[in-house]
Amino acid sequence: MEKFKNCEMSLEEIKKVCSSLDYSAALVYNATEDMVIQACKDAREMKYAAVPVFPNYIPIVARELKGTGIAPQLVVGFPSGGASSLIKQKEAEQGIKDGAGEIDMVINVGRLLGKDYAYVEQDIKGVVDVAHPAGITVKVIIETGFLQDTDKIEAVKIIKAAGADFVKTCTGFAEGKATLHDIALLKAYAGPDLKVKASGGVTTLEDGLAFMKAGADRVAGRNPITNQLRSMGIYSL
């Protein structure tokens, strides 16, 4: 096995994590165009799965990632989830026109906690109905930091009923981080048709691998992942 400085992972494991990583380095409040372009450059070099950005930057990401197979990822209703269903649908429509290849939308957390499950399902389904005809994957962020296990299980049921593709733990902008417990729980109730994404607290390649072993199909990470790769002498994959 090839050895890397300060890392016990094999090259195969490193590539597995990177190819499943949504690289959110530019998904920050103060993101500039230069930061977005740099995130795309990092993603191209390390063969990450996607680059999520706020809606106004999707055209830039679509341009920078054209032909790479890396998805320009649109966030919808981000980060609070409190936008109206119509606004979420319009965000999705415009983002797809601008070149989005995936959508990560935020659930209406308050409605979930208030047990208004019909509203939550229709809120998700409205985005799914816009995205799926265009061949766009939809991930639904449930903000696990605000939820009890019973709420998380209910959220999975709703997401499945709405026809989305992933359940995702956190935005990274609110309370809570992905935990191995949550990934295992979500995976147990997701079944074969709903995938799981770990987001929040994935700061190392080792974190990413641990979450994937627990059942995550995708993970999210920021600059520390790229910095770790470079510190190991890896500048491209």
pLDDT score at 201: 86
Query: What pTM, to 2 d.p., does this model score?
Result: 0.94
3-state SS, residue 114: coil
From 88, 197, 207, 217, active-site residue: 197
| β partners of residue 50 | 22, 71
From 88, 139, 152, 168, active-site residue: 168
For 30, what's the count of Cα atoms within 13 Å in the CB-facing half-sphere? Answer: 0
Whether 177 is a known active-site residue: answer no
| β partners of residue 124 | none
Element containing residue 222 per DSSP (H, E):
none
How long is the chain?
237
pLDDT tens track of the chain, all 237 residues?
466 666 788 999 999 999 999 999 999 999 999 999 999 999 999 999 999 999 999 999 999 999 999 999 999 999 999 999 999 999 999 999 999 999 999 999 999 999 999 999 999 999 999 999 999 999 999 999 999 999 999 999 999 999 999 999 999 999 889 999 999 999 999 999 899 999 998 999 999 999 999 999 999 999 999 999 999 999 999
Whether 34 is a known active-site residue: answer no
Whether 197 is a known active-site residue: answer yes
Q: Beta strands of the chain (E only): which ranges?
A: 21-23, 50-53, 71-76, 102-106, 137-141, 166-168, 195-198, 218-221
pLDDT score at 98: 98
Q: How far is residue 86's CA from residue 165's CA, in Å, rounded to a whole number?
A: 20
From 104, 123, 182, 217, active-site residue: 104
Phi, psi angle pair for 45, to nearest 5° = -70, -40
User: What domains lie within the chain, and their CATH numbers?
Assistant: 11-231 (3.20.20.70)
Q: How far is residue 137's CA from residue 101's CA, in Å, rounded to a whole number?
A: 7
